Structure 1
Amino acid sequence: MTVDDTTTPQHGVVRERHGTILLEAQGITKRFGDILANDSVSLTLRAGEIHALLGENGAGKSTLVKILYGALDPNEGDLTWQGQSVTIASPAEARALGIGMVFQHFSLFEALTVAENIALAMPPGQSFRELSERIRHVSRDYGLTLDPAAIVADLSVGVRQRIEIVRCLLQEPRLIIMDEPTSVLTPQEADQLFVTLERLASEGCAILYISHRLEEVQRICHHATIMRHGKVVMECDPAGETAGSLARLMVGSAVHDLKRGVVPREGDVQLALKELSATAEGPFAVAIEDINLDVRAGEVVAIAGIAGNGQSELFELLSGERLASRDTAVTIGGTPMGRTGITKRRRAGAAFVPEERLGHGAVPGLKLSENLVLTRHGTGDGLVQGGFLKTERAGELEQKIKKNFDVRMSHDDPEARSLSGGNLQKFVIGRELDRQPELLVVNQPTWGVDAGAAALIRQELIDLSRHGAAVLAISQDLDEIFEIADRVAVISRGKLSEAIPSHKLTRERIGLLMGGLDEDSGGAGDAA
């Protein structure tokens, strides 16, 4: 099987497709200025089929899905729904046809109940009591049990996703679009989701499944369409492929296996957390409770956990965006810095990459060179001299990072918001790695990033540690954790388990810890 960039999609091994065609897109083209996001894309979705839509970041998946759901208008092309030509001008029109979508980022109001959140998306004419009863019935029937009276802020991320799915199911869709549905789930929650999706498919519902987790695609999807550079380049049966072959089809070349290298002898402690605690700053924030952890030069330590269990609060305390109550609670390079701000921590050899790329890691409306200055103006990179900004030096560093980390852009030094999520992540991480820090703290290093970009970022983290730096990676991705980590701790409800060598842990054990089911047994312990 060959891989190319021709406009005519190739076909690998494809099982016979039996379901009735629900939605057909023909020749969909979408331009944003000079950028051709979708280039004559065609897609057929059938009843009873779980259909994967794959591609690296910037391949055009999000644009296509927004067109199918009525959030964008195509410049060219036609949509057919159950044999009839249609124009889908809004998400409301999509829902009226029978198209539902479960977004990667939840759209829930934390202060409201489950039923109140669902009611906001439902058509009028149904009493609140009737809706609550429907929620109980549908959620129980599909193994997604919900309490309509529960406050969303009190619920785990896995239960919040149930709300999104049940809200979609209550509209009785014929087609459900799911964007990275397992990115915040434990392995056990993901398994339950797969049971639900297979049940829906058996009842004749079509599911368009977008994911970068290729093992999942192989496991549950009946058909796959692969996009690259805005075009469809392949259709195949995922069960007839390997994760490696799917990744090659997505990126157009082989995705190299990670090289762990030899773990150096036990190095000096570069980051020491001692009884680090902090109160919750808001009604929906998480308190950090008595965290103790050492991260040594030459190792990668990963902190696993479901989103919303204190990762963001811990990152703020580590970076200096929020100060600890005691200087000795956070020690960097042997110097107590719990009461020291972020710039001084950077000058001490630390670097920080936040979870939110756009808005926290980079200012959307600033050029990449300007965003580079924001984190490196005080770290001895020659960006500021005599109180004046050296824009030429900033441009040189921007070009260096672009080249070394394969940051793809339509023109030199664009605004941060013009980059795809994966390319912006490569830039934000590359900006910090280029400094060769002695300590790197990174929150969700490859969240939402395609296989090729993820492999590059993970290898860079490993290489940084093997050259003598200490790396602390906060991640929800268990595949990532087992690929890069020498030791693993788990955060749950603001408490951190003991860091255990990764080879002594199993996915199942980490999943239980992530769900807070092992908190009373003395920490992570050894694998069962």
Structure 2
Amino acid sequence: MPGEIHSVLGENGAGKSTLMKIIYGALGPDAGEIRFDGRPVEIRSPHEARALGIAMVFQHFSLFDTLTVGENVWLGLDRRTRLKDVEAGIRRKAAEYGIEIEPERPVHTLSVGERQRVEIVRALLTEPRLLILDEPTSVLTPQAVEKLFVTLRKLAATGCSILYISHKLDEIRALCHACTVLRGGKVAGTCDPARETTASLSRLMIGAEPPKLQRKAPVIGELALRVRDLSLPKVDRFGVDLRHVSLDVRGGEIVGIAGVSGNGQQELLAALSGEDPRADTGAVQLFGNGIGHMGAGHRRRLGLHFVPEERLGRGAVPGLSLAANLLLTRHEALGKLGWIDRGFLRNQAAAILDRYRVKAAGPGAVARSLSGGNLQKYIVGRELDALPKVLIVAQPTWGVDVGAAAQIRGELIALRDKGCALLVVSEELDELFAMTDRLHVIARGRLSPSIPTEDATVELVGEWMSGLWPEPGQPAQGTTGAHR
């Protein structure tokens, strides 16, 4: 209905994104009818959808990395519009809705959270009558989510209809007026989310409540990953300088890093994973050995594995099969003469699909054919299956349903209990509170002291996200865990 925020709920692979792409004209339906404003319409392309007043923010972003934010937005507009006018419009719309964005910034320098802001502002600029949002808060902090909700309520108040896809059931209950549940490509039911509990919505979606995380006290082992006084200048003018970053991660513990997107997470992850080998050799140490100058492949052979936040394009090659994607991490599939053992890859991929309950058409399915949540499960499963000594994970449950999120978190905790050292970077505070043993906060390229997760609060972490934390030796303020 006009002015209604309507949720579409379902587990990974239920058909939510496919249905939205049909409405937006990115996919053609096999049968049936779409009515818009009460009349039948045939939407054969996104261009025709936009002409009707339909805008969509995709879960996997449709941005050109080599262009600026402004140029990406400009591409979808009337060619007679000047780029300077588009950039001015971006600034006005961003200011109107409280979204931080720089039109001149190249997209390849943006974090996933910042790219999501670009997609949202691009959609808002079209003054849509129907706005489709596919997992819009999957990589946003609680503060950014609240800002987005204010934006969406303002938009709905103007009469715009919003179709909202999310796996975060508390968000759906707080924001949406109505809910349609999909299961296996069919409508399984409708409800008023305000009258449901998180548990009842979960049962509607996956037929059961997600299992509760089973956590026991960590058994701390030897120091695995040490970072000491790591400082790196930004690679480009829109990046973030890393300044005197220090942290320790020991075997048998999960250390979390919280922070608002664009505060140095990308730069820190690149320095730790080996994508950026500019650090002093001793600034990054693995089991006492300096690895600051080593590349990603060398660090992986020493036992340090990495799950990037951007799954399609960096975590997986979109056009390759799931089996072939294992070549990114399974060098044992290469024989002495360079021959690829395809049987080994197929068997390994099939085992990962089975163990992590990934919905896919077998090991030969191309990566881009999977739903976002299923691809995430496969990538995380691929790294877990390699039995790393140190695992660095960015946004581990981005875009996955409540059942799959619980499974991934449980697997990460199980890996911790086997003695692995884990560093988890996430913008979802509930996830960090549920999984980690200690927490840091990153702000403007600086890293806070660590705090036991049981002593952290949303208020304290929010304060530290502004860079306001005590210097070493000073007590942290408000460190009671009662209001997490």
SS at match of 1:315: helix
CA contact (8 A) 2:334 2:341 kept: yes
CA contact (8 A) 1:184 1:306 kept: no
Question: In the alignment, what sits opposite 2:395?
Answer: 444
Pairing partner for 2:293 from 339, 343, 346: 339
Question: In the alignment, what sits opposite 2:247?
Answer: 293
Pairing partner for 2:461 from 504, 510, 518: 510
Q: For structure 1, which segment, 330-339 or 483-492, has the greater mean C-alpha deviation from structure 2 after superposition?
A: 330-339
Q: 1:286 to 1:146 in 2, by over 3 A?
A: closer
**Code of the aligned partner of 2:174:** R
Is residue 322 of structure 2 the alignment partner of residue 368 of structure 1? yes
CA contact (8 A) 1:110 1:152 kept: no
SS at match of 1:95: helix
Q: 1:388 to 1:119 in 2, by over 3 A?
A: closer
* Equivalent residues in 2 for 1:52-131, closer than 5 Å: 52-104=7-59, 105=61, 107=63, 120-123=75-78
Residue by residue over 1:236-294, the C-alpha shift from the partner in whole angstroms, topping out at 9 and shown as x without a partner, is 11112222322232223331111112222x32111101112222223433332221000
Deviation at 1:203, TM superposition (A): 3.2
**Code of the aligned partner of 1:483:** A
Gapped regions of structure 2 (runs ≥ 5): 479-484
Pairing partner for 1:221 from 164, 176, 180: 176
CA contact (8 A) 1:366 1:416 kept: yes
**Code of the aligned partner of 2:443:** S
CA contact (8 A) 1:504 1:527 kept: no
CA distance in 1, matches of 2:80, 2:272: 50
**Code of the aligned partner of 1:187:** P
Residue by residue over 1:10-55, the C-alpha shift from the partner in whole angstroms, topping out at 9 and shown as x without a partner, is xxxxxxxxxxxxxxxxxxxxxxxxxxxxxxxxxxxx1121100112
CA contact (8 A) 2:395 2:427 kept: yes
Question: In the alignment, what sits opposite 2:143?
Answer: 188
Question: In the alignment, what sits opposite 1:459?
Answer: 410
Q: For structure 1, which segment, 160-169 or 459-468, has the greater mean C-alpha deviation from structure 2 after superposition?
A: 160-169
Is residue 165 of structure 2 the alignment partner of residue 210 of structure 1? yes
Is residue 213 of structure 2 the alignment partner of residue 262 of structure 1? no
* Equivalent residues in 2 for 1:305-454, closer than 5 Å: 305-377=259-331, 384=335, 388-454=339-405
Deviation at 1:67, TM superposition (A): 1.3
SS at match of 1:479: helix
Question: In the alignment, what sits opposite 1:237?
Answer: 192
Residue by residue over 1:468-508, the C-alpha shift from the partner in whole angstroms, topping out at 9 and shown as x without a partner, is 11111111221211111111112223222222111222223
Deviation at 1:202, TM superposition (A): 3.0
Question: Greater CA radius of gyration, 1 or 2?
Answer: 1
Deviation at 1:413, TM superposition (A): 3.7
CA distance in 2, matches of 1:183, 1:400: 28
Deviation at 1:347, TM superposition (A): 3.1
Is residue 473 of structure 2 the alignment partner of residue 500 of structure 1? no
Q: Percent identity?
A: 48
Q: For structure 1, which segment, 444-453 or 173-182, has the greater mean C-alpha deviation from structure 2 after superposition?
A: 173-182
Is residue 476 of structure 2 the alignment partner of residue 526 of structure 1? yes
Measured on the aligned residues, the alpha-carbon RMSD in Å equals 3.2
Q: 1:303 to 1:171 in 2, by over 3 A?
A: same
CA distance in 1, matches of 2:121, 2:331: 48
Q: For structure 1, which segment, 118-127 or 191-200, has the greater mean C-alpha deviation from structure 2 after superposition?
A: 118-127
Q: 1:302 to 1:67 in 2, by over 3 A?
A: same
More strand per residue: 1
CA contact (8 A) 1:318 1:330 kept: yes
Pairing partner for 2:204 from 249, 253, 258: 249
Deviation at 1:394, TM superposition (A): 3.1
Residue by residue over 1:289-339, the C-alpha shift from the partner in whole angstroms, topping out at 9 and shown as x without a partner, is 221000011110111223333223222222223324322111112222222
Q: For structure 1, which segment, 322-331 or 364-373, has the greater mean C-alpha deviation from structure 2 after superposition?
A: 364-373
**Code of the aligned partner of 1:481:** L
**Code of the aligned partner of 2:243:** E
Question: In the alignment, what sits opposite 1:38?
Answer: none
Is residue 428 of structure 2 the alignment partner of residue 473 of structure 1? no
CA contact (8 A) 1:136 1:145 kept: no
**Code of the aligned partner of 1:511:** G
Residue by residue over 1:61-99, the C-alpha shift from the partner in whole angstroms, topping out at 9 and shown as x without a partner, is 111111111222212111111111111222232222222
CA distance in 2, matches of 1:89, 1:178: 20
Q: For structure 1, which segment, 485-494 or 367-376, has the greater mean C-alpha deviation from structure 2 after superposition?
A: 367-376
CA distance in 1, matches of 2:317, 2:87: 42
Question: In the alignment, what sits opposite 1:482?
Answer: 433
Deviation at 1:392, TM superposition (A): 3.2
Residue by residue over 1:416-466, the C-alpha shift from the partner in whole angstroms, topping out at 9 and shown as x without a partner, is 333222222222222221232221111221111221211111111111112
CA distance in 2, matches of 1:343, 1:247: 40
Deviation at 1:139, TM superposition (A): 5.9
What TM-score do you get using the length of structure 2 for normalisation? 0.87
Gapped regions of structure 1 (runs ≥ 5): 1-45
CA contact (8 A) 1:262 1:466 kept: no
CA distance in 1, matches of 2:84, 2:363: 57
What TM-score do you get using the length of structure 1 for normalisation? 0.80
Residue by residue over 1:381-425, the C-alpha shift from the partner in whole angstroms, topping out at 9 and shown as x without a partner, is x86467654443333322322222112222344333332222222
